[in-house]
Structure 1
């Protein structure tokens, strides 16, 4: 399975299993390695380490040191930069003081991130972009442009798609709710303004918390070809109930949910990918094959890597998982080698 969004909160935090890069940047490589090795237990064979809105100097330090490959762990597809070009009104747990607009095209992007060669996905709010031609330039550079953390109207979203955007970040979350006069980014699922042959993909969090089962069914029945399961997992993934001081953000894990401590504000998922697959399959009644494809073939197609990932066709990478009838992971294989075996 391919995970396009396993992300952090606060300034530099790449998340999962208690990994925190917010303060000690010397642990970036070791932290990514820990996450990569841990993810195979939930059937993830490749992933996009995700950085949320951060100061420029954090990107300049972290991105060049992001490993390209981890021995014995899930493969790294490239970084998902979730911000900083988002709408402050839909910032979620992103730090408001680091949010930016793209006022000077690619020069703004290079000033913010430094070199772009480690980035595979950029989440941005289309209304934060003064010239949509920058989306075309990002696509030509091999970067998937995703729309999210946004107050965009449907027409804003359609314009971004015409310029090459092909993904929506965690559908329904951190965007305008569906409205019958202007459905916002959600309306892209049925828009008649999408260029011929183009599929708009969308990540959706099926953790049983962020997205109601009825909303999962609506998304599935409306636009199944574009549906991609993501966890949006934070650094509390794999941790027990209680308070965890991770970066500057104190998190409280309660009964499988992660909150900003002392509030009822959700701040990310703590459900692993295999659990999201099972929740989604039960909620929608889709076939087991479709549920698995939503976490394998669909993300690969979205990134344009379906010849190597997401299938077992001749010539593809030998990345696969073995599941039982209940979609529990029995073993995980990467490049034809077993990297995980269940003890059950």
Structure 2
């Protein structure tokens, strides 16, 4: 018989609200307690007192979860930390993609600059394969961006970074957040809320303009969590200093060293958004983009029991994958009780 665990005395993120409710888990899946009680006539074997903590779906970082191919089909002018010698054109259309990447069956996202020649063919082909096309590292104007979205693109790579700055006569990729020329499509956009890449004022502008499309990302590199110093990133050297990552000997940002929990907290501080909104930007929104919302990004019945426990300051207290605890903060105050064997009336 499978063990059932009931998490109680907690607030869970459910239907866009934090509600005082219990969470029931069996075999790595979130269960409907009504089914357990009335149909199966069973009870939990374990009960976990969460002492008032928040239970949220586990964070999803679209820069890290799944395969995201960011480059080489980008603008040389907006290449960021990408070495210019590796940047390519798409003059061969979709064949250029295959010749560069090879097998793309496990790819979730491809970032490209929509102003490049043959981008229309590439966007359509990738979309047909259920690969999300993201617009980024680009000099595209708004008209080029709108055309790309109407061809199937649905994401902007790290908004405000590696793109034309907002201009009132042509807002470029940023203008997609409020465009009326994309047939009512929901445009999603990644936002690096690490305190380095995006000013709090810009964070508030994006949040107010299009909250439903906002996806928190880290853009983190392998040096995340390491002390200041110089490290290897691919074939380049990166220096960690002043809480940021830079190409060695320059002020060019080379990704981030923040984790998702830090980005969630900074975004909440900078935007003043509700806890519910902030959490969904790191859970539900990326799940919707990737098309995995039936299993990930929610606490709905039948979804995977991948969740985290948080305090009101949004510090992670515990992490569960498939219902198994894989991380616990040193000061965690939950209690687990083993109950007597459940008695069936059958």
TM bin, normalised by shorter chain, reads 0.7 to 0.9
Does 2:175 match 1:160? no
Report the secondary structure of 2:115's partner residue.
helix
Does 2:217 match 1:230? yes
Comparing 274-283 and 101-110, the one that deviates more: 101-110
* TM-score scaled by length of structure 1: 0.77
- Is the 2:305–2:320 Cα contact (8 Å) retained in structure 1? yes
Report the secondary structure of 1:232's partner residue.
coil
Structure 2 residue aligned with 1:17: none
CA distance in 2, matches of 1:243, 1:136: 41
The structural deviation recorded for 1:268 is 1.4
Does 2:150 match 1:170? no
Q: Runs of 5+ in structure 2 lacking a partner?
A: 1-56, 332-346
Label 1:79 to 1:332 Cα distance change in 2 as closer, same or farther (>3 A).
same
Comparing 120-129 and 146-155, the one that deviates more: 120-129
CA distance in 2, matches of 1:320, 1:165: 30
Deviations 1:163-205 (A, max 9, x none): 1100000000000000111110000000001123x20000000
| Corresponding residue to 1:192 among 180, 184, 204 | 180
| Corresponding residue to 2:323 among 322, 325, 336 | 336
Does 2:290 match 1:294? no
* TM-score scaled by length of structure 2: 0.76
CA distance in 1, matches of 2:292, 2:235: 36
Deviations 1:208-239 (A, max 9, x none): 01100000000000000000000001121110
Comparing 304-313 and 213-222, the one that deviates more: 304-313
Structure 2 residue aligned with 1:303: 290
Q: Runs of 5+ in structure 1 lacking a partner?
A: 1-42, 51-76
Structure 1 residue aligned with 2:260: 273
Label 1:334 to 1:129 Cα distance change in 2 as closer, same or farther (>3 A).
farther
Structure 1 residue aligned with 2:312: 325
Report the secondary structure of 2:216's partner residue.
strand
The structural deviation recorded for 1:287 is 0.6
Does 2:270 match 1:283? yes
Deviations 1:14-58 (A, max 9, x none): xxxxxxxxxxxxxxxxxxxxxxxxxxxxx96555566xxxxxxxx
CA distance in 1, matches of 2:255, 2:211: 24
Deviations 1:294-344 (A, max 9, x none): 000000111111111110111211111110111000111111221111123
Structure 1 residue aligned with 2:88: 100
Structure 1 residue aligned with 2:240: 253
Structure 2 residue aligned with 1:128: 116
| Structure of larger gyration radius | 2
CA distance in 2, matches of 1:311, 1:49: 19
Structure 2 residue aligned with 1:83: 71
Label 1:46 to 1:224 Cα distance change in 2 as closer, same or farther (>3 A).
closer
The structural deviation recorded for 1:273 is 0.5
CA distance in 2, matches of 1:79, 1:131: 20
Whose strand proportion is higher, 1 or 2? 2
Deviations 1:51-109 (A, max 9, x none): xxxxxxxxxxxxxxxxxxxxxxxxxx420000111001100110111111212222111
Whose helix proportion is higher, 1 or 2? 1
The structural deviation recorded for 1:131 is 4.7
Q: What is the aligned-residue RMSD (CA, Å)?
A: 1.6
CA distance in 2, matches of 1:110, 1:287: 43
- Is the 2:59–2:260 Cα contact (8 Å) retained in structure 1? no
Matched residues, number: 275
